[in-house]
Amino acid sequence: MRNLKLSEDHFDLKKLNKYATLMTLGNGYMGIRGTHEEDYPIQKRGLFVAGIYNNSSTEEPEEIVNLPDVMGMDLEIDGEVFSSLKGKTISYDRTLHMDRGELTKDVVWEREDGLRLQFTFRRLAAKHDVHVLASKVSIESLNRDVTITVRTGIDAQQTNFGRQHLLEDHVQVHDETYMQGTYTTTRSHQTIGLFSTCTYSKSCDVHFFAENRQLLCESTASLKKNEPFHMEKLNAVYTSIDQKVDELNDIGLAKVKNLSEEGYERILQQSENTWKDFWNERRIEIHSSNPMDQQAIDFAQYHLEIMAPKHNPNLSVAAKGLTGEGYKGHVFWDAEIFVLPYHLYNDPKAAKQLLEYRYNRLPEARERAKANGHEGAQFPWESARTGKEETPAYAAINIKTGERQKVASALAEHHIVADIAYAVLHFYHVTDDEEFMTAKGLTMLEETSKFWLSRTSERDGQLHLLNVIGPDEYTEFIDNNAYTNYMAHHVVKQTLQVLDTFNKLDEEFRKAAEDFLNRLYLPKENADQLIPQDDTFLRKPAIDLSKYKKNQGSQSILLDYSRGEVNEMQILKQADVVMLLYLFPDIFSKEVVEKNFTYYEDKTIHDSSLSKAIHSILAMRCDQEELACQLFQEACLIDLGPNPHSSDEGIHAASLGSIWLAVFSFLNLSFEQEGIKLNPTLPAAWSSFKLPFHYKGRKITVEMNQNTLCIEKVGGDPIDAEIGKQHYRLIDQLEIPLHRDNELHKERT
Amino acid sequence: MRNLKLSEDHFDLKKLNKYATLMTLGNGYMGIRGTHEEDYPIQKRGLFVAGIYNNSSTEEPEEIVNLPDVMGMDLEIDGEVFSSLKGKTISYDRTLHMDRGELTKDVVWEREDGLRLQFTFRRLAAKHDVHVLASKVSIESLNRDVTITVRTGIDAQQTNFGRQHLLEDHVQVHDETYMQGTYTTTRSHQTIGLFSTCTYSKSCDVHFFAENRQLLCESTASLKKNEPFHMEKLNAVYTSIDQKVDELNDIGLAKVKNLSEEGYERILQQSENTWKDFWNERRIEIHSSNPMDQQAIDFAQYHLEIMAPKHNPNLSVAAKGLTGEGYKGHVFWDAEIFVLPYHLYNDPKAAKQLLEYRYNRLPEARERAKANGHEGAQFPWESARTGKEETPAYAAINIKTGERQKVASALAEHHIVADIAYAVLHFYHVTDDEEFMTAKGLTMLEETSKFWLSRTSERDGQLHLLNVIGPDEYTEFIDNNAYTNYMAHHVVKQTLQVLDTFNKLDEEFRKAAEDFLNRLYLPKENADQLIPQDDTFLRKPAIDLSKYKKNQGSQSILLDYSRGEVNEMQILKQADVVMLLYLFPDIFSKEVVEKNFTYYEDKTIHDSSLSKAIHSILAMRCDQEELACQLFQEACLIDLGPNPHSSDEGIHAASLGSIWLAVFSFLNLSFEQEGIKLNPTLPAAWSSFKLPFHYKGRKITVEMNQNTLCIEKVGGDPIDAEIGKQHYRLIDQLEIPLHRDNELHKERT
């Protein structure tokens, strides 16, 4: 499959952890960071299984557990440790093959004394069988006979930045072949079983030993010059989430025995087939003068896929997926607003499961609402295993005062409650899934609406939402945040309609909801056509932000100003009003949209990775195509750009979701009652693009180049399609000639 | 001072942790491993404060806590990380200066692109002020202007092989200069405060940040070619053992401010002066054809000094001192039998404090005796903070079965109780310290004796000590272990006498003790003149051990035989009978001693580091001088030898103690009522030696070469001295001409 690669062409000590993140392998069940087999300073290994959380003390929130490592290998050549830091690297290529979900490294390495070896390292996290990790090492000495020793096993010395979450339960080598390490989290009492075995292309002198939380297998072989040696390491991972604890051991052992019979190549073949199906079905194709565009969207799709826990409806997507310890593996609004739409339009079942994760945590959300004096359900700002609020009470330390800064989000970033309801509505509108709505969706909508009804304060007859934080976390504890108020209004309004449609609307709720809708204050544009982000924002002083915009993503503003000071200026981490305009394109006139986009873009540092791509969408809608392209490409660089450390602690899941959102938004797609409205845009740099999506049981593929727009439908009933003000009936395929670039777009009003 | 150095002349990745152990700096209060400033794979940093223990769960024993690191430094040269693994090392010298307690590293390093830099790293743990750690880095670019960045601070990501023991309490940067990190152990609730500051030879761009349990200071400076740059890092360490928790912060800050005014060189000067006093007072000097001999005894003295917690009578010496995590920082019989004599003959107060550590834990020892159905006091086999038994219930995993092997020592290695009493008696005989005896020693003697009285089993009218483990841990749960029975007999007998002397002997105890002494079975030599190690040992089969003796120290026997199988053969880890003969030179005839030494030496693998030097002493006593020298030199190699990993987890404290014991034993010293008996031996390789020791308030220095024996006394009354059967009165100095090598020794019968 063309391209679908991410390569590193030289070893770079400073980018170890960046590439470890980018080159993560995974399958939604688990993620394994793309660290090297061999050890390097500050290299941060990581194996994460979705849903395995623990806290090391009552004072700390639960975090996703960095599990024992099975990928690390010490290689010794005639007693000397192999390391790319030493000797001379003759050739080097490390490539993430997104087409088949395999990470490879090919190195020709020359030792100080002239001994030259060729190494090939390969590994995968199986897509067809989510419990399987496999790796294969090939070694060939190019100019001398050598003795090689490989030391690898199950290493439970891993920690979350020094916090240890696991007790060693049981460590054993079965039949002098199969290694087993079973561990229990210290407080959440989850069990994790790791099972590993090594196989060899020629017989080795093998011995096993256990020490200091490591179970190791040391294999030694003598190799003739030019005699290739292959070693495979096959691993199975099971946990108490997916197995009964007393069966886990047998299941894991049976699996790893089975794997050693199958061998790496067969496992790879099956996994690769599953990946091929995925790409054939889902891949967005772009012909752009900037080859990065295709890579960025491939990369986004790859990571959105490996972070999606499709095997279990009781899990969701963390802000860093399963690629690192950042944000402790917690689930934010990123899941519903930035990641869920991708799945919704590609694999609606996966989107439904993300909603079910929330549904299953309604009891805790109800408890939380009650504890805070509200009604209905208040979902936590940060969610993990239990559905309880997991936002750390204190986050970064103010190192000048030694005070830990309170994290305000849990106290006031209540838009998460509306975001979840928005996603339920979004899901329903795209899928018509009445079963889900009846069983779960309606309850979620009613409960979250009740939260909003009870969340208001009355002033002069109007209802206000006071003391909140919008998506812009540089402005805390303000009143009537535009994003929050409009979102709350939207979800309550839609909930009323949907409950009515399902005949589930009770009179008391209807009256309360209608009162809320009538009286909730919705900030309108002022004399300057500006929509105030909140009651006080536009009265705050503004400063020149160009210095900070240059370092966007680094929160460098906080080196010059305290959080309190930032709070009192027109400084945005990400723009709430732009987010509002993005989600609700039809509330305001184009003129107001343009005015506000320009105004707020100027005040936005983009210190949030959720910001750029959304602004790109707005720029496109405002016909600022050049700015749109620039913002889009900058969004693509959040993970793929040159900054050596921005992704050290994990991928930016929401950013990847929003890259897809941006591309998808170029379709200018909206839905009528039983039809779609398309007005695709072809950015100047793109000569063509092809984008598939699902809509109410149909798979629709839009393909466009400078001459033709082609729409294909597979499955489902025919559907009305309004394309650039022309009306069509999409039965299976439509081919519409175009007269000039972006003609359709230009016609849009 | 001549020599007193331990150097590493090239960077060796495989010996990182060996040298980190050997090059530990310390002052009894704390030990800091000799790891490099820069990070390397598998490099194990370590900062240990005596007495700071914690367990991470109830199932685990307490272990000495690996504290946050202050020595690590990331150095970047024009953005590229410095590492000895990269580029070209033009020159390299790392040296532990034992004369002044300083570790230095001088490197000239050439980057791939030809940029050449000279680095000097220096550090110390102050001897004159035990709370102080200091380091200094000097950097000079030899051929180009460069920008350098140094990142260092307080790094609380350290763990004990993955186990985290500390909660971060408070992290702060005071006055934008002084870093503070305060931590509490999770279960033992001890507080540790670390205070650090950096000073520079030219102004730097400095900024501080805290993330992931690290508080870091990043300093950047532009350097001209050939412009030297110096940076000092000054650190203070306080804990709740030595300070009130609410004062710790102020004390630490005041100290670190003070240190930054003093500066590295002045701190070094004061520390060096204290070290000089130490060496002037204590150094043993050897002129040997093997230069290793002097280095080995210097090295032993250095480490015996830095592991001794002389600042606090509530601490003792762990099996690895303060150099590593091995044996969890626990205190064994090593402290009393192998390490204490060194202090007793050099610094009796330090020896007394080691006994006080035990005295302070009598209540727990009494409880333990009671819980086990015994009387008196039963000291634990492994002791740490509380005095409770800290031997891990289970140790190494049998990886074939997954069963953790029970550690039998805590159940039966009861000789520790006699060993402690032996040390009390030893202390008294060498110091005449009646005050200590009255206040503490007598109680310890009586209580430990009571334990033995109650520990016996009666059979045919005789008393037996059944089901014990002697020092030889390859023979478990046997009856009437020679070492144990004789030791128990000795201490009870001596206790009777001493109690009597102090008029503290009560009648009931006297009767019971006399009965014990009369009826305790003491294994005598059999027809072959062999003293049976226990009731069954001599009936067990013997095998050829030469294969295992070649790999001594590695416990390689356990790769071929199970512990159970080893238990049923004449295989010794260390020889109990040899140990018995060492401690009691006068019980058996020389013929019996020779017979038994030869027999048991043959059966001993020396897998224990406590074994070699003791056997060397016995070989010398048996006139097997060549064997003695060989064994002595092999003992010196336990830490200093070529094995790259044997000291990874810490120094062998008992081995170092026994190196001194061996040298000291060459004096053939024994004590009469009010006199000493000397019969010094000059090993063939030695042309002279000088050895100082303390005896009852006198400092006596014995100096010997092939022609003269010179004995000098400072302080205390004159004393009778029997030297080679001649009687002298030592007033201040004796000079005795010798006729031929070792004449005195040869006359001994």
Predicted pLDDT of residue A17:
97
Q: Which residues of A touch B57 (CB under 8 A)?
A: 167, 186
Q: The CATH number of A676-747 is which of 2.60.420.10, 3.40.50.2300, 2.40.400.10, 3.40.50.2000?
A: 2.60.420.10
Among B161, B209, B400, select the one facing A157 at the smallest CB separation. Answer: B161
User: Inter-chain contact B171–A83, Cβ cutoff 8 Å?
Assistant: no
Whole-angstrom Cα distance, residue A524 to residue B651? Answer: 74
Predicted pLDDT of residue B403:
79
CATH 1.50.10.10 boundaries in chain B: 285-665
Q: Which of B296-300, B346-350, B381-385, B402-406 has the lowest mean pLDDT?
A: B402-406
Measure CA B732 to chain center. Answer: 33
Among B79, B167, B210, select the one facing A397 at the smallest CB separation. Answer: B210
Q: What is the pLDDT of residues A101-128, one digit of tens each?
A: 999 999 999 998 999 999 999 999 999 9
Band the pLDDT of B741: cuts 50, 70, 90.
very low
User: Inter-chain contact A81–B38, Cβ cutoff 8 Å?
Assistant: no
Give whole-number Cα distances, A147 to A75, A77, A83, A142, in Å: 11, 6, 16, 13
Q: What is the mean pLDDT of residues B669-695?
A: 87
Whole-angstrom Cα distance, residue A361 to residue A347? Answer: 23
Q: Which residues of A touch B86 (CB under 8 A)?
A: 13, 85-86
Q: What is the mean pLDDT of residues B584-610?
A: 94
- Best residue in A57, A77, A85, A214 to probe B by mutation, most B CBs within 10 Å? A85
**Chain B: closest CA distance from residue A216 (Å):** 10
Band the pLDDT of A338: cuts 50, 70, 90.
very high
Whole-angstrom Cα distance, residue A224 to residue A608? Answer: 55
The gap between the terminal CA atoms of chain A, to the nearest Å, is 39
Beta bridge partners of B137: B121, B231
One-letter amino acid of A515: D
Q: What is the mean pLDDT of residues A424-444?
A: 97
What mean pLDDT value characterizes chain B?
A: 94
Q: What is the mean pLDDT of residues B186-207?
A: 96
Q: Which residues of B touch A157 (CB under 8 A)?
A: 159, 161-162
Band the pLDDT of B740: cuts 50, 70, 90.
low
Is the pLDDT at B58 greater than 60? The verdict is yes
User: Catalytic one among A473, A476, A594, A649?
Assistant: A473
Q: What is the mean pLDDT of residues B626-636?
A: 92
Q: What is the pLDDT of residues B242-279, one digit of tens each?
A: 999 999 999 999 999 999 999 999 999 999 999 999 99
- Best residue in A40, A164, A328 to probe B by mutation, most B CBs within 10 Å? A164
User: Inter-chain contact B186–A57, Cβ cutoff 8 Å?
Assistant: yes
Of A713, A709, A685, A689, whose CA–CA distance to A701 is shortest? Answer: A713
Among A38, A173, A399, select the one facing B400 at the smallest CB separation. Answer: A173
DSSP class per residue in B647-672: TTT---HHHHHHHHHHHHHTT--EEE
Q: What is the mean pLDDT of residues A271-294?
A: 95
Predicted pLDDT of residue B667:
87
Predicted pLDDT of residue A690:
95
Minimal-distance CA residue of chain A relative to B216: A399
Is the pLDDT at B746 greater than 80? The verdict is no
Whole-angstrom Cα distance, residue B211 to residue B216? Answer: 8
Is the pLDDT at A745 greater than 60? The verdict is no
The gap between the terminal CA atoms of chain B, to the nearest Å, is 39
Q: Which residues contact B335 (CB under 8 A, 6 or more apart)?
A: B316, B317, B318, B354, B357, B653
Quickly count: other Cβ atoms within 10 Å of residue A261's Cβ: 9
Minimal-distance CA residue of chain B relative to A170: B402
Q: What is the pLDDT of residues A368-401, one digit of tens each?
A: 999 999 999 999 999 999 999 999 887 667 778 8
**Chain A: closest CA distance from residue B323 (Å):** 17
- Best residue in B164, B176, B208, B555 to probe A by mutation, most A CBs within 10 Å? B164
SS3 A302: helix
Minimal-distance CA residue of chain A relative to B75: A14
**Chain B: closest CA distance from residue A562 (Å):** 14
SS3 A539: helix
In terms of average pLDDT, the best of A378-382, A473-477, B396-400 is A378-382
Return the CATH architecture of domain B5-282: Distorted Sandwich (2.70)
User: Inter-chain contact A56–B164, Cβ cutoff 8 Å?
Assistant: yes
Predicted pLDDT of residue A405:
73
What is the ipTM score, two decimals? 0.79
Q: What is the mean pLDDT of residues B371-394?
A: 94
What mean pLDDT value characterizes chain A?
A: 94
DSSP assignment, residue A329?
G
Q: Which residues of B touch A80 (CB under 8 A)?
A: 13-14
Predicted pLDDT of residue B1:
61
User: Inter-chain contact B559–A207, Cβ cutoff 8 Å?
Assistant: yes
Whole-angstrom Cα distance, residue B388 to residue B61? Answer: 10
User: Inter-chain contact B161–A14, Cβ cutoff 8 Å?
Assistant: no
For residues B2 and A532, the model is more confident at: A532
Predicted pLDDT of residue B400:
81
User: Inter-chain contact B162–A212, Cβ cutoff 8 Å?
Assistant: yes
Of B458, B456, B480, B450, whose CA–CA distance to B468 is shortest? Answer: B480
Neighbour-count burial of B699, counting CB atoms closer than 10 A to its CB (0-12 exposed, 13-18 middle, 19+ buried): middle
Among B86, B156, B176, select the one facing A162 at the smallest CB separation. Answer: B156
Quickly count: other Cβ atoms within 10 Å of residue B598's Cβ: 14
**Chain B: closest CA distance from residue A659 (Å):** 29
Predicted pLDDT of residue B747:
38
Band the pLDDT of A1: cuts 50, 70, 90.
low
Predicted pLDDT of residue B406:
76
The residue with tokens 């209580």 is B447
Q: Which residues contact A233 (CB under 8 A, 6 or more apart)?
A: A70, A73, A134, A135, A136, A137, A152, A196, A197, A198
Predicted pLDDT of residue A741:
46
Is the pLDDT at B749 greater than 80? The verdict is no
Question: Exposure string (b/e) for A400-411, b if CB count within 10 Å is 16 or more?
Answer: eebebeebbbbb
Q: What is the pLDDT of residues A543-593, one digit of tens each?
A: 999 999 888 888 888 888 888 889 999 999 999 999 999 999 999 999 999
Q: Which residues contact B118 (CB under 8 A, 6 or more apart)?
A: B106, B107, B108, B109, B138, B139, B140, B142
**HEC string for B210-226:** EECCEEEEEEEEEECCC
User: Inter-chain contact A209–B399, Cβ cutoff 8 Å?
Assistant: yes
Q: Which residues of B touch A173 (CB under 8 A)?
A: 399-400
Q: Which of A7-16, A691-700, B463-472, B676-685 has the lowest mean pLDDT?
A: B676-685
Share of chain A above pLDDT 90, in %: 85
Task: Kindly provide the residue ranges of all beta strands, DSSP E only, lying in A579-665, ordered along the sequence.
Answer: none
Q: Which of A149-153, A316-320, B649-653, B685-689 has the lowest mean pLDDT?
A: B685-689
What values do phi and psi take at A582, rounded to 5? -65, -50
Q: Which CATH class is domain B285-665?
A: mainly alpha
Q: What is the mean pLDDT of residues B359-367?
A: 98
CATH 2.70.98.40 boundaries in chain A: 5-282
Minimal-distance CA residue of chain A relative to B397: A210
Is the pLDDT at A154 greater than 80? The verdict is yes
Catalytic residues of B: 473
Predicted pLDDT of residue A42:
86
CATH 2.60.420.10 boundaries in chain A: 676-747
Q: Which residues of A touch B180 (CB under 8 A)?
A: 402
